[in-house]
Structure 1
Amino acid sequence: MPANHTVAHPPLGLLLREWRAARRLSQLDLALAADVSARHLSCIETGKARPGREALARVATVLDMPLRERNALWLAAGYAPECPEHALATPALERMRQAVELILAHQEPYPAFVLDRQWNVLMANDAAMRVNHLLMDGRESRHANLLHQVFDPADFRGVIVNWPEVAEKFLHHLHAQIAAAPTDPLPRQLLDSVSFYPDVPALGRVHAGGPLDPVLTLVFRHREGELRFFETITTFSMPRDVTLEELRVECAFPADEYTAQVCRRLAVGGQRPAP
């Protein structure tokens, strides 16, 4: 017999039930919002009926499904995926890639980097490399993945003064990823992988009972003084490509004048910060 190369996909009904549960919608709620009869939706979930593409698109919109998960829904229904997924380096995304490069360049002399859905660092500006080398005393990171850089005691974690707060922030983001795409196994796998590192804090316990600053400041230790940054995240507005929807640009800004001074000095020749 010839080899079977058909890729197995979860049943459509199972996907819809999981997404309804995650969004806390009854069949009737979803049917009304998506302009589909409750009976027809029930038949779709039990496998007795196949939805048309237009009805399926309305259901996906009501469920606020990410593009990658919408593609999985199309495949489960027997349709070709509607949302393309191009590598960032392809000509199709040339203009978007140029926009990302412009953001990285304009962020100088402060760090900026680009992450994918797996938290891999795809791109970084020169400022990020300079600051990293300063804080790590010239050592290279053990990981190309930001999560592992932050949670591995032998990596960047060792120079983060307020590591429990920072770790909780990253755990919060992972839980948000799980909530945003409940049928996607990747965020859970990432959460499991960082949970193996020692002393990972319980979510929500770091600040229990204490006041919160307006934004989280990342504090890094160095023998010549602490560097303090806060971050902003840039994403594409209404993307129609899976890669673009999952891409984010993180920009670090100095939280005090000393940190700004160090970044400027590194940019004009790599001078060591003044004691």
Structure 2
Amino acid sequence: MAVPETNAHEIPAGHFSRLLKHWRSVRRLTQIELAADANVSARHLCFLETGRSQPSREMVQLLGSALDLPLEERNALHVAAGFVPPYGDKGLAAENLQPVRQALDFILRQQEPYPGIVIDGHWDVRMRNQGSARLLKPFRDSYEMENGLADNAMHVVFHPKGLRQFMLNWDEFARQLIQILHRDVAQGSRAAAQLLDEIMVYPGLSAEWRLPRQSATSSPVMTMQLAKGDYRLAFFSTFTTLAMPTDAALQQIKIECFFPADDATAGKARQLALSPTPGR
């Protein structure tokens, strides 16, 4: 799905009408369709989009829900209408989210001896288990990336001096991975839109990857095949998100768990877990 040229983050606060029209266009809804979904009159919706009427806080919430906006964009819609954003945006650092951090840590420990990481809305790795540190250490030690980029899951895959140099099936893997980023953009993630622009400047990326496409593959899962000399690993991964979060940053959290795609990788993970030398 092509996204209209107007970007939500380019629309300043106080311009609710423009932001509403932007998201209706992104969702490919007519005014009549959105009005029906929100259970409001098409006439009133038209007045909101032209600025002839100003929305109440309840109306902003109703339209944000009808448009299925992520919490970050519902906050932006409230700000554009002149209201205080209703959803927190502190993410994992918030003091009241200690139970969430404990739950994430529990999930990562249960994933041992295989890798597991927690990724935020910018695709920065916020937490990782010892399995991730142990198994990926030989590759991470060879990264030659700018400060901070080595902790970003997307940059690590696409940067020519990151994990990409060790990935045997990089073209296939990256082609599918970037479509996940496109889905984030289509859902309204500003961070994903910025990250996509940053990724596309790397050498060797097809111009076609700038557009969302349905990837054709004969495999039921996306496998990552890594090799550094005789050290070889093969994983497929799963993404898990938190159910019904009320924090905008927390809504974007992903838990990625890696599972061995062959017996050799499973054996290597068990072997390293018994090693007295800790991972990093």
Q: Give your verdict on TM over 0.5.
A: yes
With 216-225 and 39-48 compared, the bigger mean Cα shift is at: 216-225
CA distance in 2: counterparts of 1:206 and 1:246, whole angstroms: 22
Contact 1:165 1:206 (8 Å CA) reproduced: no
Question: Which residue of 2 is the match for residue 264 of structure 1?
Answer: 270
Identical residues among aligned pairs (%): 38
> Offset at 1:158?
0.6
- Which protein is bigger by CA-based radius of gyration? 1
Confirm or deny: 8 A CA contact 1:141 1:156 kept in the other structure. no
Aligned letter for 1:153?
P
Unaligned runs of 5+ in 1: 1-6
Q: Which moved further from structure 2: 108-117 or 189-198? A: 189-198
Tell me the distance in 2 between the aligned counterparts of 1:43 and 1:117.
34
Change in 2 beyond 3 A, CA 1:53/1:190:
same
Matches within 5 A, 1:1-275: 8-9=12-13, 11-136=15-140, 138-139=141-142, 142=145, 143-181=150-188, 185-201=190-206, 202-203=208-209, 211-269=217-275
Do the aligned partners of residues 122 and 261 (structure 1) sit closer, same or farther apart at CA in structure 2, a change above 3 Å counting? same
Deviations 1:108-129 (A, max 9, x none): 1000111111111111111111
Contact 1:36 1:55 in 2 (8 A): no
Q: Identify if the C-alpha distance between structure 1 residues 23 and 8 changes in structure 2 by more than 3 Å, giving closer, same or farther.
A: closer
| Counterpart Cα distance in 1 of 2:173 and 2:276 | 27
Instruction: Using the TM superposition, give the Cα deviation of residue 257 of structure 1 relative to its aligned residue in structure 2, in angstroms.
Output: 0.8
Q: CA deviation at 1:89?
A: 2.8
Kept after mapping to 1: 8 A contact 2:119/2:125: yes
How many angstroms apart in 2 are the aligned matches of 1:124 and 1:179? 27
CA 82–197 in structure 1, closer or farther in 2 if over 3 Å, else same: same
The 1-side partners of 2:36 and 2:214 are apart by: 41
- SS state at 1:221 partner: strand
Q: 1:46 offset after TM fit, Å?
A: 1.0
Q: Distance in 2 between matches of 1:228 and 1:263?
A: 11
Once superposed, what is the RMSD of the aligned Cα atoms?
2.2
1:99 aligned counterpart, secondary structure: helix
Of stretches 121-130 and 185-194 in structure 1, the one that deviates more from structure 2 is: 185-194
Classify 1:98/1:56 alpha carbon distance in 2 versus 1 (closer, same or farther; 3 Å). same
Inter-partner Cα distance in structure 1 for 2:110 and 2:174: 28
Count of paired positions: 261
AA matched with 2:116 = A
Kindly state the Cα deviation for residue 225 of structure 1 after the two structures are TM-superposed: 4.6
For 2:193 and 2:214, locate their aligned partners in 1 and report how far apart those are by CA, in whole Å.
24
CA contact (8 A) 1:164 1:206 kept: no
The alignment partner of 2:239 has SS state of strand
Task: State the distance in 2 between where 1:62 and 1:111 align.
Answer: 38
The TM-score with structure 2 as length reference comes to 0.87
Give, in whole Å, the separation in 2 of the partners of 1:152 and 1:29.
43
Please tell me whether the aligned partners of residues 27 and 42 of structure 1 are also in contact (alpha carbons under 8 angstroms). yes
**Residues 44 and 78 (structure 1), Cα distance of their counterparts in 2 relative to 1, 3 Å cut:** same
Whole-Å separation in 2 of the counterparts to 1:185 and 1:64: 15
The offset of 1:185, in angstroms, is: 4.0
- Take 1:197 and 1:42, find their aligned partners in 2: how far apart are those partners? 43
CA distance in 1, matches of 2:231, 2:212: 29
* AA matched with 1:250: E
- CA distance in 1 between partners of 2:144 and 2:247 (Å): 31
